[in-house]
Amino acid sequence: MMATVEFVEDLCTPALIVDLDKVRRNAEGMLERFHKLGVQLRPHMKTHKTLECADIMTGGSRRCIVVSTLAEASFYADNGYDDILYAYPLPFDKVERCAELSERLSLFHVLVDNRLALQELKKRPLKQGKVWKVWMKLDCDNGRAGVPHYDPDALQLAQEISDTSGVELTGIYAHCGNTYACQGEEQIKAVAQETTMITLQFMEKLKASGIHGTKSSIGSTPSCSHPVPDMAMLSEVHPGNYIFYDVQQSLIGSCRLEDVAVRVLARVIGHYPHRNQLLVDCGWAALSHDGGGRLPTGYAIIEGHPELKLLSMTQEHGRVEPISGKLDFKQFPLGSLLTLMPYHAV
């Protein structure tokens, strides 16, 4: 069992530091935003993977969440959570585990974007008279998973899901990850508007085909941080990163830098005057390579030291050097701490 420490400086590093006041503000802001719009918030758990943050994000309901792995799904199910959406194109090797969760929970949802996945579900009918709760993934020009919204096959697949015995077309799920290429609120809202309208137009096509009662859901932290009025016509939204936010989100325009609730604490473990660098005990395993070092300060913002740059990382090491000039090594004795604000918190 890990010992309790009283002071931050006594933590073993690298360490993830979470500001719970900011976490609560971020979560409460998102809950309030969509309560006013009359839209169900189904928060994504992949950023934090903890019960504490999940309780805050769900307002204590322990219901209506999104996960990206079955490990996450099982973890939350084991701890009293229900109404869990496994928002990942259904892997065929995991159908049985999905079936077990579907039979165990009141509501467990899977994601499908092809006919072969639907056939796999048909091969494994659920027990206890239950039916598979299926969301169809619609690609609204994000270019990752999903059936392209303009492809006639999208409506055909939705019809086949709806018509399949033992399966229910619960909803249409779209991820507007293309908001991550935005700069500023205006661009974010333009992408959110486009994704919303594409999804709502597809819902109208479903109704015209005789498919009724199907939910609609879009999501990304940028789009849900600045929702457009038409999002009030959706059933749900599914952002996740907002619980922590990060430097990337501040650059996109989702939040202010002061909203970022996480830091990575690192220790100085080496002085190398011959190359004008410090070595810290934080590599990509603790921080990630996201961002590619494109910030003026490299792979992270080093809090309180705008003159420093996290130049590069290996798995467990980080190289720090000044943006310009000579490094004053006396400012950063061996064993001293640096606080890194991550580019991306997942």
- Taking 60 as the threshold, does the pLDDT of residue 260 lie above it? yes
In angstroms, the CA 49 to CA 208 distance is: 40
> What are 120-162's pLDDT values in tens digits?
999 999 999 999 999 999 999 888 999 999 999 999 999 999 9
Is residue 1 in a domain? no
In angstroms, the CA 308 to CA 303 distance is: 9
Give the per-residue pLDDT at 7.
83
In angstroms, the CA 298 to CA 271 distance is: 19
> What are 281-300's pLDDT values in tens digits?
999 999 989 999 999 999 99
Say if residue 100 is exposed, middle or buried (CB neighbours under 10 Å; 0-12, 13-18, 19+).
middle
Same domain, 59 and 166: yes
Cβ 209 vs Cβ 173: under 8 Å: no
Is residue 226 in a domain? yes
Listed residue (196, 178, 331) closest to 268, CA to CA: 331
Same domain, 146 and 201: yes
Residues 256, 280, 341, CA angle at the centre, nearest 5°? 5
| Phi/psi at 15 (5° precision) | -135, 140
- The CATH number of residue 79's host domain is 3.20.20.10
> What are 239-252's pLDDT values in tens digits?
999 999 999 999 99
Domain that holds residue 335: 261-342
Cβ 160 vs Cβ 209: under 8 Å: no
Residue 345: DSSP 8-state: -
**Kind of pairing, strands 277-280 and 318-322?**
antiparallel
Give the per-residue pLDDT at 3.
64
Q: If you average pLDDT over every residue of the chain, what do you get?
A: 96
Same domain, 268 and 293: yes
The amino acid occupying position 53 is C
* Radius of gyration over every alpha carbon of the chain, rounded to an integer in angstroms: 22
**Is residue 96 within a helix (H) or strand (E), and if so which, with residue range?**
helix 95-104
Give the per-residue pLDDT at 1.
53
In angstroms, the CA 43 to CA 241 distance is: 9
Same domain, 75 and 205: yes
Same domain, 140 and 118: yes
Cβ 308 vs Cβ 302: under 8 Å: yes
pTM of the full structure: 0.94
